[in-house]
Structure 1
Amino acid sequence: MSYRPDLPMIVQSDRTILLEAQHPAYEEAKHAISSFAELIKSPEYIHTYRITPLSLWNAAASGCLPEQVTGALSTYSKYGVPPTIIKEIEETMRRFGLIRLEKSGDELLLASDDPLLLQELTGYKAIRQMLVEQQADDRYAVKPFYRGLIKQELIRLGFPVQDLAGYNPGEPCPVSLRATTSSGKPFSLRSYQQEAVDAFYAEGRATGGSGVLVLPCGAGKTIIGLGAITQFQTATLILTTNATSVRQWIAEIKDKTGLDPSLIGEYTGERKEVKPITVATYQILTYRPHAEDEFPHMALFSERDWGLIIYDEVHMLPAPIFRVTSGIQATRRLGLTATLVREDGREEDVFTLIGPKKYEVPWKELENKGWIAEAHCREIRLPFETKWREAYAHATARQKFRLAAENPRKLEVVRRLLDQHADDRVLIIGQYLDQLVEMAEALGLPLITGKVPEKERAILYEQFKNGQIKRLIVSKVANFAVDLPDANVAIQISGTFGSRQEEAQRLGRILRPKSEANVAHFYTLVTRNTREQEFSLHRQLFLAEQGYPYEIIEMETLV
């Protein structure tokens, strides 16, 4: 194996990749491996990536070939690629599609071109109980209700199923996109938005109709959802994270399609409308009076003949909805997200029950084209005062994190940052209610938390949008799907431990393209040499993978 010291990468036999962050070819190499490798560490000089079966199967589902993966690794590796890794990559990727679900008349079939493999897999009790009968050596009839469950079982055995069984057409719902919005502005899908819709639609073939589209916050995932609805022309159920997001979806549908408003329904805690296009929250569907009760609103999944279900922020999909989704695999399913990362580790369930990744566009690529704002990420490290340091020393691990997160000196830093950004639209984002209330009172700023009624939230969001207020303090209720296009500064004062998805979502609040200087500033305040600093490194992983380095600033050096 030849040694090429001028290259930036080392591929190790445990499927990890070490990439030199300071190397001139770093960006090029990172882009080459991003479709099939996951960033797991990003210290200053060496970034560590990991190749997993799921990352390879997602790459395969997107049309990537094994030789493209091994070719990318060989191109940038100092020592070449261990032969065992090449073989593992080829074997893993070729497993995608070895087992298929197909339709013959009314029958659902589990099929394979390898009868011996099929015989081996159907020998497992968990698989066998989902089958009706053996049709031939290369196919078995499957009980229709088990279409989702059998995919879950087979991926656990290491064999992802390619689902080619097709979908019910659903109730017709003619809808078209406007050439101009309701306010008279020209409108059409951007090139990458159309590419995403086309990748999901797949010309109407069975290879389309289920899958996940991965795009940055601010890239217009709602618009892509509208594009999918107009492509299929069918009744659609849209699921999203909160009532504010429901109303934003409805506003976009009214603004950018010719659909009669009477055909659009809101299904939330306040209203229960079931129309050809219905927008609901995950919370209402997973509501139940008591832990032992059924979920009364899950009936929404069967109240109309839906032809498409859109899962907004699919990485937040609650477990009960996974269970229902397992039983509706004959309905087309579109997942929209900025990151496939799930903090509960259920990425395999997204792959099997919603569908594999069908399209992804790098954040930096859209930034370079001006479709999202140019973001500058900075971590500001603060000291502890002596009395807080003493309390920290005697605290439990969980208490240590909260003490560091609520460091009183953060108020001082926020004041300085607000002075620096006197003319900007600033969001101050935090986790702990007491901390947020104290900061709102000290700064005399409006505050939005889960306790603030939806109507009052809507008023404050609208005042922020139209410039009546330029500073807004928000809790984690604003992490998802809140459209504040003119916000260009976010100050994160506390967060949910090491949540990568939360970091991405919070940056996303300020990435909408700006009409003037297309620049956004993201500050994270962290107490130095504490558990908070440790968690901060993990939170930044996903954004580092997207090409956002964090500038480290010591509080003492702030102007």
Structure 2
Amino acid sequence: MSFQPEKPLIVQSDRSILLEVENPFFSEARQALNLFGELVKSPEYIHTYRITPLSLWNAAASGLSAQQVIDTLQAYSKYGVPPTLVKEIDEWMGRYGLLRLEQAENQLLLLCDDPLTLEEIIGFRQIQPHLDKRITPTSVLIKPDSRGLIKQELIKLGFPVDDRAGYLQGEHLAISLKSRTAKGASFALREYQIQAIDSFHAGGASSGGSGVLVLPCGAGKTVIGIGAIARLQTATLILTTNATSVKQWISELLDKTDIAPELIGEYSGQKKEVKPITVATYQILTHRRKTTDEYVHMPLFSKRDWGLIIYDEVHLLPAPVFRMTAGIQARRRLGLTATLVREDGCEEEVFSLIGPKRFDLPWKVLERNGWIAQAHCQEIRLPFEPRLRQQYSGATSQQKYRIAAENPRKLDVIKRLLNRHQDGRILIIGQYVEQLTQIAAELGVPCITGRMAERDRERLFQQFKNGEIHCLVVSKVANFAVDLPDANVAIQISGTFGSRQEEAQRLGRILRPKSQENEAYFYTLITRDTSEQEYARQRQIFLVEQGYRYEIIDLEQLS
């Protein structure tokens, strides 16, 4: 194919893709790439994507074909698509659906239309413990308790399984969505929320019923989960990140459905209720006194005949819950998240045990439609005092990051930003408790950390919602599932190294739509020419992929 300089992509045979930021087709090419590629790095002028087997399998599970992926690359590529890559895309996407799990006469079968491929599969040593016997040239009987385990092993071998074995109906639960909330406001699912539920449910077919819905913070993932419960009319176990989130799920259920309060249970450190709808934390499920002890609360998975299990913030799912999930594959499983990025690299576990990505709504699409606030992201780079620069130079890599993160000059910048947003509802977010408490004391505002009692956290969050408090200093306890809809300014002073998921969650704290000016401001304070600057670049990758641009300014430019 001839060189076409006006196009924005360079597609390479090593599965990497270079995207020109200044090209007129940048935005539409980026949106197309997000369906099947992963953003690796995003410097100012060239963004680098890569195609992986998992990114292609997720695309295939959502209905995209290999030819559509190839056509997209060809449509935007300056030099065409290398034949070797065309072949790989064809091969990898062809593997999704090649192996299927189905039920026949209460038996679990692994099916493959190609007898030679099935022969190869059953020859793998790690697969054999899960097999019972060969039935036909294209089918093999699987042991009843191996449904999840064999999917885990096969995806490691490069063979994703399309699980069509169906689900238990679960205990019936009559539940309907209200048309008005408890405060009298009209309520109905938004169009994209209905689409997300439809994608998961698939009309009740065995092709649906498990998978992950990816939507921005502020898009109403809790409401989507509640809509799925109402669609299925079944007893549901909801797993979430912390006690605050448990209370928010219960509050939303009571506000937006006709469910009676006595049918909702809280299973946490404070209460151990098991009701037709039970909301629990990951922490309580994985609690044990000693590392050699059993997980005493894991039997919650079998305490009722659950028809649906919802994994809130599925990207944070701990390993013991993965292991338990492997044994409950006959239950419908719904994962909710703003990002499928896992810092531990366990995306394949999510795919095989929770299910593939069923729905992914770009953040900027919701922003354009006014469903989330328009966000302005700014990275402010600060200098070091000479004394601290010398201390930094002689420190270990981990010490260097903390020294840079705790740069005392950040306090002055915070004060200037507070003055800029005098009418704002402001969250100052950081990693290090000592730094946060010192800043809170200097500013005379409350500080919320994990050391604070749950009831005191709830009281301060409520005062912030009510407008009694306009500024809070918060640690990473506020990263997840804290509903502060009026927050419109976030000042990030330190974080968990290069965590992309944390960056997304923190921006998400301020993205709930605003009743008046629907805008939000996200500031990140960085010490210039330090490891903190490099970690910031890593943290921003996911949000850049979603279409956000970080304006980078030096302290001297701050007005």
- Into which bin does the TM-score normalised by the smaller protein fall? over 0.9
SS at match of 1:175: coil
The CA deviation at 1:496 is 0.1
Partner residue in 1 for 2:233: 233
The residue identity in structure 2 corresponding to 1:91 is E
1:32, CA displacement in angstroms?
Answer: 1.2
Aligned equivalents of 1:15 and 1:174: distance in 2?
49
In the TM superposition, residue 557 of structure 1 has moved relative to its aligned partner by 1.5
Deviation at 1:135, TM superposition (A): 1.1
Partner of 2:439 in structure 1? 439
Task: Please say if 1:91 is aligned against 2:91.
Answer: yes
The answer on 1:374 being equivalent to 2:377 is no
Residue 315 of structure 1 corresponds to which residue in structure 2? 315
Query: What are the equivalent positions in structure 2 for 1:198-209 lying under 5 Å apart?
Result: 198-209=198-209
The residue that corresponds to 1:248 in the other structure is 248
**Aligned residue number for residue 460 of structure 1:** 460
Per-residue CA deviations over 1:307-354 (Å, capped at 9, x if unaligned) read 000000000000000000000000000000000000000000000000
What per-residue deviation string (whole Å, max 9, x for no partner) do you get for residues 282-311 of structure 1?
A: 000000001110100101001001000000
TM-score of the superposition, structure 1-length normalised?
A: 1.00
Supply the distance in 1 between the matched residues of 2:139 and 2:125 (Cα, whole angstroms): 17
Correspondence 1:195 to 2:182: no
Partner of 2:491: 491
SS at match of 1:291: coil
Tell me what 1:100 maps to. 100
Match in the other structure for 1:271: 271
> What is the CA–CA distance in structure 2 between the aligned matches of 1:92 and 1:177, rounded to whole Å?
41
- The letter for the 2-side match of 1:346 is C
Please state how far the C-alpha of 1:529 moved relative to its aligned partner. 0.2
Residues 344-403 of structure 1: per-residue CA shift (max 9 Å, x gap) = 000000000000000011000000000000000000000000110010000000000000
Query: Aligned equivalents of 1:144 and 1:337: distance in 2?
Result: 30
Deviation at 1:133, TM superposition (A): 1.1
* CA distance in structure 2 between the partners assigned to 1:66 and 1:279 by the alignment: 40
**1:212 match: secondary structure:** strand
1:275-314 equivalence runs, <5 A:
275-314=275-314
State the AA in 1 paired with 2:465: K
Q: How far apart are 1:485 and its partner, in Å?
A: 0.2
Secondary structure of the structure 2 residue equivalent to 1:472: strand
Q: What are the equivalent positions in structure 2 for 1:394-433 lying under 5 Å apart?
A: 394-433=394-433
Superposition deviation, residue 182 in structure 1: 1.4
Q: What SS is found at the alignment partner of 1:177?
A: coil
Give, in angstroms, the shift of residue 124 of structure 1. 1.1
Aligned equivalent of 2:551: 551
In structure 2, what is the Cα distance between the partners aligned to 1:524 and 1:467?
24
**Matched AA of 1:143:** K
Deviation at 1:239, TM superposition (A): 0.3
Q: 2:215: which partner in 1?
A: 215
What is the RMSD of the two structures over their aligned residues, measured on CA atoms?
0.5
Partner of 2:540: 540
Q: Distance in 2 between matches of 1:347 and 1:93?
A: 17
Tell me, in whole angstroms, the C-alpha distance in 2 between the residues paired with 1:394 and 1:123: 55
Structure 2 residue runs of 5 or longer lacking an equivalent are none
Equivalent residues in 2 for 1:106-125, closer than 5 Å: 106-125=106-125
Q: Distance in 1 between matches of 2:128 and 2:394?
A: 55
Give the distance between the partners of 1:379 and 1:498, measured in 2 at CA: 15
Q: Deviations over 1:497-516 (max 9, x none)?
A: 00000000000000000000
1:24 Cα offset (Å)? 1.1
Counterpart amino acid of residue 550 in structure 1? Y
Q: Matches of 2:129 and 2:430 in 1, distance apart?
A: 49
SS at match of 1:4: coil
Note the C-alpha offset of 1:265: 0.3
Cα displacement string for residues 468-514 of structure 1 (whole angstroms, at most 9, x for unaligned residues): 00000000000001000000000000000000000000000000000
1:105: Cα distance to partner? 1.6
Indicate the residue corresponding to 1:389 in structure 2.
389
Matched position secondary structure for 1:506: helix
Question: What is the one-letter code of the residue matched to 1:459?
Answer: R
Once the two structures are superposed, residues 113-142 of structure 1 have per-residue CA deviations (whole angstroms, 9 ceiling, x without a partner) of 111101110011211111111111111111
Cα deviations across residues 407-433 of structure 1 (Å, max 9, x unaligned)? 000000000000000000000000001
Amino acid at match of 2:480: F
**Partner of 2:3 in structure 1?**
3
Structure 2 partner of 1:513 = 513
Matched AA of 1:161? V
User: Structure 2 CA distance, aligned partners of 1:179 and 1:363?
Assistant: 27
Secondary structure of 1:265's counterpart equals strand
Aligned mates of 1:434, 1:507 — CA distance in 2: 23
1:144 is matched with 144
- Alpha-carbon distance between aligned partners in 2 of 1:70 and 1:277, rounded to the nearest angstrom: 45
Q: CA deviation at 1:90?
A: 0.8
Q: CA–CA distance in 2 between the matches of 1:222 and 1:129?
A: 39
Task: In structure 1, give the amino acid aligned to 2:299.
Answer: A
* 1:324 aligned partner: 324
* Per-residue deviation, residues 203-259 of structure 1 (Å, max 9, x unmatched): 000000000000000000000000100011000000000000000000000000000
Aligned to 2:42: 42
Q: Report percent identity of matched pairs.
A: 65
C-alpha displacement of 1:555: 0.7
Partner amino acid, structure 1, of 2:222 = T
Taking the aligned partners of 1:32 and 1:127, their CA distance within structure 2 comes to 36
Within 5 Å, which residues of 2 pair with 1:165-184?
165-184=165-184
Quote the Cα distance in structure 1 between the aligned partners of 2:512 and 2:105: 47
Query: 1:54, CA displacement in angstroms?
Result: 0.1
> 1:235 and 1:376 mapped to 2: Cα distance?
41
The separation in 2 between residues aligned to 1:524 and 1:558, in whole angstroms, is 13
Distance 2:3 2:146 in 1: 51
Q: Return 5+ residue gaps in structure 1 as ranges.
A: none
Task: Write the deviation string for residues 78-117 of structure 1: whole angstroms up to 9, x where unpaired.
Answer: 0010011111101110100000000002100011111110
> How many aligned residue pairs are there?
559
Residue by residue, what CA displacement relative to the aligned partner does 1:423-478 show, whole Å, maximum 9, x if unpaired?
00000000001100100111011011001111011110000001000000000000
Q: Distance in 2 between matches of 1:70 and 1:116?
A: 27
Structure 1: how far apart are the matches of 2:145 and 2:447? 47
* 2:296 partner letter: P
Residue identity matched to 1:51:
I
Q: Please give the secondary structure, in 2, of the residue aligned with 1:129.
A: helix
Whole-angstrom CA distance in 1 between matches of 2:357 and 2:2: 35
Q: C-alpha deviations, 1:38-96, integer Å up to 9, x for none?
A: 00010000000000000000000000011110011000000010011111101110100
State the alpha-carbon separation in 1 of the partners of residues 545 and 409 from structure 2. Answer: 30
What TM-score do you get using the length of structure 2 for normalisation?
A: 1.00
Q: What amino acid is the match of 1:376? A: H
2:482 equivalent in structure 1: 482
> Residue 127 of structure 2 aligns to a residue in which SS?
helix
Task: Work out the CA distance in 2 between the residues paired with 1:68 and 1:482.
Answer: 39
Distance across 1 between alignment mates of 2:298 and 2:128: 29
Aligned mates of 1:129, 1:273 — CA distance in 2: 37
The alignment partner of 2:17 has SS state of strand
Counterpart CA distance in 2 for 1:518 and 1:166 is 43
